[in-house]
Amino acid sequence: VRFPEDLEDDNTTFNPEYSHQVFGDDEVAFGYKGLKILLYYIAGNLSTLFRIEYTSKVNEKFDCVEADDVESKIREIIPPGFCTNTDDFVSLMEKEVNFKPFGMLLHTYSVHNEEAGEDITYQIYKADMTCPGFREYHERLQTFLMWFIETASFIDVDDERWNYFLVFEKYNKDGATLFATVGYMTVYNYYVYPDKTRPRVSQMLILPPFQGEGHGAHLLETVHRYYMSSPTVLDITAEDPSENYVKLRDFVLVKLCQDLLCFSPGKLMQGFSQEMVMEAQQKLKINKQHTRRVYEILRLRATDMGDAEQSRSYRLDVKRRLIGPYKKKQRELAKMRRCLRPEELTNQLNQIDLNMQHEQLEESFQQLVSDYRRVLERLAQA
């Protein structure tokens, strides 16, 4: 919410992707007709208005059953101090002009907005719990995780090894410059013996009204560039990354790596090398596993897939990596032959059909190439 009229504007509303973490696996609130759970956030500091509306509710006295306590479930997520009536909320909006982003400015960029017909400016900041007011702001911000990340959990903010990276939009209201929250990322700095750290991306969320505009890529690249300048950082990883995050990371890392000498077309055609691993880690803090994906994407770009020899060489190169888990199964099978009775062995062999493995391998390869092509298309447009 930026203006009071936004409260009545359905276009500013977005719905949760998940509610199972609050309402159970069935995502059901029992005992109401026409139930609406309304959560409004002021765009910048995320002060909250919480209301529940319904047309009717079951009554223990007459219906012998009790409706779910929806209010308590929501109160467990949103921090205390929220508004319950609109007037209080609107009066808080008047103070929004005093809200400024927390922490240190890392990056400013602009995105052309077709609807507004102009470029809109965004900024990325790095914050921590020593910033005045940030702890309370973060409590409100992290409530979005429950609705948009499937396995979300709140973090221990008293642990000083957390870093917070925030994206804000700059906008004008009555001649003043205000800031709206766009999204954020939390990163945990793990210790690596003897004197390094390994930052691990924990949570990343771009709020739905801003998705599809490239903010995730700007945020991830800015975070990479921030850590790249630190001599104590070994490499950057992610905790249990989603499919969408992996696609985003592929794009950002390929964009960063494409100008390194070790990824020149001539060297790509000679195969994956230790030189690539070393240079990507030392200059860009990218680990070996992610460097290998970058190599495969850039080699695909350098390969003429219409040329039978080049295409075959590329396919074999990628499949040699993909076959790793299957080779592991073969080693397990050899062990079984030595240890199992014949009838047990037959049972295990039925589960490891070689033809099926070849089919799965080909399927995995085709899916990868399809994903890689999408990364290259996006790169060509960047």
pLDDT in tens, 214-237: 999 999 999 999 999 999 999 999
The single-letter DSSP state of residue 79 is P
Give me the CATH number covering residue 27. 3.90.360.10
Domain count, the chain: 3
Same domain flag for 334 and 277? no
User: Look-up: residue for tokens 């860009």?
Assistant: 284
Same domain flag for 52 and 115? no
Same domain flag for 56 and 155? no
Domain assignment present for 228 = yes
pTM higher than the cut 0.85: yes
pLDDT tier at 62 (50, 70, 90 boundaries)?
low
| Mean pLDDT of the region 93-115 | 94
Same domain flag for 81 and 140? no
| Mean pLDDT of the region 58-75 | 86
Same domain flag for 84 and 107? no
**Which phi and psi (to 5°) does residue 8 adopt?**
-100, 0
Distant-in-sequence, close-in-space partners of 322: CB < 8 Å, separation ≥ 6: 361, 364, 365, 368
Domain assignment present for 312 = no
Same domain flag for 130 and 27? no
Distant-in-sequence, close-in-space partners of 294: CB < 8 Å, separation ≥ 6: 250, 253, 254, 257, 263, 280, 286
State which of 48, 78, 96 marks the end of a domain: 96
Q: What pLDDT is recorded for position 358?
A: 79
Same domain flag for 230 and 264? yes
**Burial grade of 98 (CB within 10 A; 0-12, 13-18, 19 or more):** exposed
| Mean pLDDT of the region 234-242 | 93
Query: Per-residue pLDDT for 352 more than 70?
Result: no
Same domain flag for 115 and 74? no
pLDDT tier at 351 (50, 70, 90 boundaries)?
low
Domain assignment present for 316 = no
CA dist., res. 44 & res. 168, Å (int): 8
Average pLDDT, rounded, for the chain: 92
| Mean pLDDT of the region 140-153 | 93
Is there a catalytic annotation at residue 344?
A: no
Domain assignment present for 76 = yes
Q: Residues 153-169, buried b or exposed e (16+ Cβ, 10 A)?
A: eebebeeeebbbbbbbb
Q: What pLDDT is recorded for position 292?
A: 97
| Mean pLDDT of the region 92-117 | 93
CA dist., res. 189 & res. 103, Å (int): 18
Which residues constitute the domain of residue 129? 100-300
Same domain flag for 268 and 134? yes
Q: What pLDDT is recorded for position 346?
A: 61
Which of the residues 17, 239, 362, 363 is marked catalytic? 239
| Strands 104-113 and 118-127, bridge-based pairing | antiparallel
| Mean pLDDT of the region 165-176 | 95
Domain assignment present for 138 = yes
Same domain flag for 91 and 104? no
Give me the CATH number covering residue 126. 3.40.630.30
Query: Per-residue pLDDT for 345 more than 80?
Result: no
Query: Per-residue pLDDT for 203 more than 90?
Result: yes
Domain assignment present for 375 = yes
Domain assignment present for 69 = yes
State which of 267, 300, 333 marks the end of a domain: 300
Omega into 209 within 30° of 0, i.e. cis?
A: no
State which of 64, 96, 128 marks the end of a domain: 96
Number of residues that this document lists for the chain: 382
Q: What pLDDT is recorded for position 64?
A: 78
Domain assignment present for 359 = yes
Same domain flag for 109 and 84? no
DSSP H stretches of helix in 142-228: 145-148, 215-228
Query: Per-residue pLDDT for 378 more than 70?
Result: yes
Tokens of 38: 């309304």
Tokens of 46: 């995320």
CA dist., res. 354 & res. 360, Å (int): 10
E strand or H helix that includes residue 279: helix 274-284
Query: Per-residue pLDDT for 350 more than 60?
Result: no
| Mean pLDDT of the region 12-26 | 93
Same domain flag for 249 and 335? no
| Mean pLDDT of the region 103-128 | 94
